Chains A and B, each alone.
Chain A
Amino acid sequence: MLTTKKTNSKKTRQIKETFFLYLFLSSVVIGILALAVLLIDVLIDGLPYLNWDFLTKYASRKPLNSGILAPLAGTVWVVLLTAIFTVPVGIATAIYLEEFAKKGRFIRLIELNISNLAGVPSVIYGLLGLAVFVQFLFDGSRNLISGALTLTLLILPIVIIASQEAIKAVPSSFKDAGYAMGATRWQVVKKVVLPQAIPGMMSGIILALSRAIGEAAPILMISSLVWVTFVPTTPNSKFTVLPLQIYTWVSQPQEDFRSIAAAGIIVLLVILLIMNSIAVKIRNKYQQRSEQ
């Protein structure tokens, strides 16, 4: 009696095992298939149009004469400016919250709000940026700085949270050793915490910046330009970015513009891929070093 029950339960356990194996496997396959279909579709549509001319020419009404130079340059500008604004503020906030602030109700409230801000839809930040930066700060000038500041607001919560995680990962024994030597909090932060945490922060920051690159909605509110035939020269220039250009091309009447849009998507994907692999590289390097 007892033995039959045992074999039964072993059988059912095995059945369950295989069932869940295939359930989970099929979930993975669904995700990968969707990605593969998307990539193949974009590559088939876009690759024939992707050449050096496409990267160095401006937008045109004729699909075959169209290029992506202005939005490409705009994207690079915006990302660099966003990084300049985000990195110091984001890291400083994380250091304050983790190392300096007394953990209390107020700090918990701030942290809760930061996590909430990370979930606010990006178009809301676009409206905020339009009102605060474009109309109030720059008197109606839709320049690169307002675009970058808006994206800064968008990714700042993500950067803060990622930096906090990186700081938390520094073993407290390291810090305690520093304090035992009589170091001040700032000395510990500078000599112990930051060198350990910066690689982790960097990969978080790069991932956040690649999110900023893909955003069309807030930039549509800020720039509202979709046909630009110049490369921005100062942070005060008007600009457009890749997702916005792709969005415009898709909405044009001529069929060929959809293939041009696909070529634009490939450019965007390549940039994102490069940035993400840099993030992965930094993380791997960091892991190796801490294992040593």
Chain B
Amino acid sequence: MFLKINDCINNQIKWLILSFAILSIGLFAACGSDDDDSVAAPSDEKLSGTIEIDGSSTVFPVTVAVAEEFRVSNPEVQIPIGMSGSGGGFKRFVVGETDISNASRFIKLAEVEKANSNGIELMELNVAWDGLSVVVSKSNDFVDCLTTEELKSIWDEGSTLDNWSQVREGFPDKPLRLYGPGTDSGTFDYFTDEINGEEKRSRADYTASEDDNTLVQGVSGDPGALGYFGYAYYIENKESLKIVSVDSGSGCVEPSETTIEDGTYSPLSRKLLIYVKISSLQKPEVKAFLEFYMDHGGELANEVGYVALSDAEYSAQKAMISNPVNYVHPSK
């Protein structure tokens, strides 16, 4: 019986396999003919070529703004940008798929080692400040400030708090509903590290989304809601959200340009980063793009809702671009 079926397969499928083989040969030939010509010959005047970027959705608006302005004077340079999250971006960066990786957290030792083992040297650049913002609905009239301990009691792994009255004595008896970023997000990594003491240590029974607008809408429509995300999303949705000050032991501090930049909004202010493949710096368009980033990244970061670094910091980093040094992870 089985032999019979096999015979049948052999006779009739032989032709199928043959035609598939012919098809795939045709395909390979088609692709072989147009090779990637992204590395154009460097010319004195006009820059061209491709700069490939992926990574954090938090840094995405800043890099897009810089890329857009850069292309005004260098329209021949193509800059495709992805938004796969800090971790997703590093996955592509360490195998050499991208020139630059946006990140809202520091690169991990394992990621550096993977890059190095693939022959990729990298450098780190800071591009702006972000104040991770804790928010409640505009209709919430009892929360103005939360301490880091209270935040931890809410968000820590195994926490079962589901009512505001459990968070602090005196808070009303209202259901507590939580909104936060998903696990591939650098924002999630940073918040859990600072508040719960360990990266990715968090309760899991909250509404998680990689799309921050989902969080904004969830929190703004729910008087019992609490959520956290990047400062830019708060700035753009001020009229429907209420910002919560954070007290880490020295009084309540509300995130603002001043408190984020001078570091008093602690521990939730963080630097937004980009990581650069050093060998890509030999492409003049990449070098020019990064220098442009350091010249104009500050004002553009302000424009999209983040906080610029000091001018001195940008110019110091700009000098580093000409003499790149391979990044060494602090734990080494």
A interface residues with partner B (beta carbon < 8 Å): 59-61, 88-89, 92, 96, 100-102, 104-106, 138, 140-143, 145, 223-230, 234-236, 238, 240, 248, 250-255
Contact = CB atoms under 8 A, between A and B. Distances in A.
Contacts of A240: 80
A253 B68 contact: no
Contacts of A61: 61, 64-65, 68, 304
B82 A226 contact: yes
The 6 A-B pairs of least Cβ separation, nearest first, read A253-B236, A227-B81, A234-B34, A224-B82, A251-B211, A61-B65
A88 B60 CA distance: 41
A236 B35 contact: yes
Contact of A225 (B57, B82, B95): B82
Contacts of A226: 81-83
Main secondary structure of the interface of A (DSSP, over half): loop
B110 interface: no
Given A140-B97, A236-B31, A253-B237, A224 B212 contact: no
B19 interface: yes
A270 to B, nearest CB: 25
A250 B213 contact: yes
B54 interface: yes
B77 to A, nearest CB: 9
Contact of A138 (B31, B34, B82): B31
A251 B80 contact: no
Interface stretch (B5-13, B141-149, B194-202, B246-254): B5-13
B68 A225 contact: no
11 contacts: A88-B23, A89-B23, A100-B12, A104-B8, A106-B8, A224-B82, A230-B80, A250-B211, A253-B212, A253-B235, A253-B304
Interface in B230-245: 232-233, 235-237
Given A224-B84, A248-B83, A236 B34 contact: yes
B3 interface: no
B169 interface: no
Interface string B83-101: 1100010001001110000
A251 B213 contact: yes
Contact of A96 (B16, B27, B67): B16
A251 B212 contact: yes
Contacts of A251: 57, 83, 211-213
Contacts of A92: 19
A230 B31 contact: no
B170 to A, nearest CB: 34
B213 A224 contact: no
Contacts of B65: 61
Nearest to A141: B36
A255 B236 contact: yes
B36 A236 contact: yes
Nearest to A250: B213
Contacts of A89: 23
Contact of B71 (A138, A229, A235, A236): A229
Nearest to B237: A253
A228 to B, nearest CB: 5
B61 A253 contact: yes
A253 B83 contact: no
Nearest to A233: B34
A73 B13 CA distance: 38
Interface string B23-62: 1000100110011100000000000001010100100110
A225 B236 contact: no
A184 to B, nearest CB: 15
Nearest to B50: A238
Q: Which of B31, B50, B305 has the most CB of A within 10 A?
A: B31
A100 B13 CA distance: 11
Given A96-B12, A227-B82, A235-B31, 16 more contacts: A61-B61, A61-B64, A61-B65, A61-B304, A140-B96, A143-B31, A145-B27, A145-B30, A225-B81, A226-B81, A227-B79, A228-B80, A251-B57, A251-B213, A253-B212, A254-B236
